[in-house]
């Protein structure tokens, strides 16, 4: 039986084993998928031991995506431009291919599951950290009319945009100087993790705007509440989680699983775990 796993610190909360086990059942793939914990400085030792046992692939979550980038012998273009790896695949010659499936997971959720257009639209991405960097190439490959990065520190967003100027129409600036009228706004900042709202002007939303938060949970995030109040259609990032897992599964097994049943299962699970309110 082929072995796979996800590695992280912490790792207990990971839903990856549930997701990939469901994918395996649906596609009749004979595999075993587990969780690996590593100390912050122990990534290579744990991964070496895992692959020495004949394992075929590994998902990588925080804080090890840069370690995985260095571990890989070869990188896909999307991993190279992201500067981070979230999926390792053992090749037939024993070397390791590093990929980053976060961006494709985001795009597939927005375009295929939600049915929201990216091509030809004005897209605003909030935040200029690793979550944003990992999604820029797949978003630009969809040919938006414009992709604008807005960040609290404008220079960080501008430097990031410069790295991707060859891939499409991209600009950047501070949160206080965002242009008007975006069709799609993606919150890739850390604000929702701390229950905060990015300081964004309502003028950033065009009529019919869609708003997507990479964070997910049983309840809408502050960003989703804000956008809903301004008439936007909204979504959280649970579909991105399942979508990036599906991309990794394709890389490993050569077959594409169905996202919808797993997404529905996880959504129901989140609702069940939500405490009752009076």
Assess whether 121 carries a catalytic annotation. Answer: no
130 is in an annotated binding site: yes
User: Is residue 56 marked as binding?
Assistant: no
- 260 labelled binding-site residue: no
CA atoms of 278 and 275, how far apart (whole Å): 10
CB 166 within 8 A of CB 111: no
Q: What stretches of the chain adopt beta strand conformation (E)? A: 2-8, 31-37, 57-60, 74-75, 87-90, 96-99, 122-126, 146-151, 170-174, 182-187, 205-213, 233-235
The answer to whether the annotation marks 219 as part of a ligand binding site is no
Annotation-wise, does 62 bind a ligand? Answer: no
Residue 236 structure tokens: 């959280």
Query: CA-CA distance, 212 to 1, in Å (whole number)?
Result: 38
Catalytic-role residue among 56, 65, 121, 122 = 65
Burial tier of 116 (Cβ tally within 10 Å: 0-12, 13-18, 19+): middle
Q: Is residue 15 a known part of a binding site?
A: yes
Q: Is 235 annotated as a binding residue?
A: no
153 labelled binding-site residue = yes
Annotated binding residue at 212? no
244 is in an annotated binding site: yes
**Strands (DSSP E) found in 83-236:** 87-90, 96-99, 122-126, 146-151, 170-174, 182-187, 205-213, 233-235
Give me the active site residues, please.
65
Residues at the binding site for NADP(+) are 77, 127-131, 151-156, 214, 237
Annotated binding site for shikimate: 14-16, 61, 86, 102, 216, 244
Which residues make up each annotated binding site? Answer: 14-16, 61, 77, 86, 102, 127-131, 151-156, 214, 216, 237, 244
């Amino acid at each position: 039986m082929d072995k796979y796993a996800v590695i992280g610190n912490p790792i207990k909360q990971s839903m990856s084993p549930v997701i990939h086990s469901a994918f395996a059942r649906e596609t009749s793939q004979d595999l075993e998928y587990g969780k690996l914990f590593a100390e912050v400085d122990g990534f290579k030792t744990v991964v070496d031991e895992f692959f020495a046992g004949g394992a075929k692939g590994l998902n990588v979550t925080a804080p090890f995506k840069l370690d995985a980038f260095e571990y890989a012998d070869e990188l896909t273009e999307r991993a190279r431009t992201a500067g981070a790896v979230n999926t390792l695949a053992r090749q037939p010659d024993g070397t390791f291919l590093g990929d980053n499936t976060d961006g494709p997971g985001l795009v597939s959720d927005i375009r295929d599951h939600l049915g929201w257009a990216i091509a030809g639209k004005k897209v605003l991405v909030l935040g200029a950290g690793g979550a944003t960097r990992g999604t820029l190439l797949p978003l630009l490959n969809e040919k938006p009319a414009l992709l604008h990065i807005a960040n609290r520190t404008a220079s960080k967003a501008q430097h990031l945009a410069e790295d991707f100027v060859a891939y499409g129409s991209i600009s950047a600036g501070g949160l206080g100087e965002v242009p008007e009228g975006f069709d799609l706004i993606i919150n890739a900042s850390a604000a929702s993790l701390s229950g905060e709202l990015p300081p964004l002007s309502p003028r950033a939303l065009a009529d019919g705007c869609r708003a997507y938060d990479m964070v997910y949970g049983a309840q809408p995030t502050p960003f989703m509440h804000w956008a809903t109040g301004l008439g936007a259609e909204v979504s959280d990032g649970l579909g991105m989680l399942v979508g990036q897992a599906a991309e990794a599964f394709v890389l490993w097994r050569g077959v594409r699983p169905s996202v919808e049943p797993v997404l529905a299962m996880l959504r129901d699970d989140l609702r069940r775990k939500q405490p009752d309110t009076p």
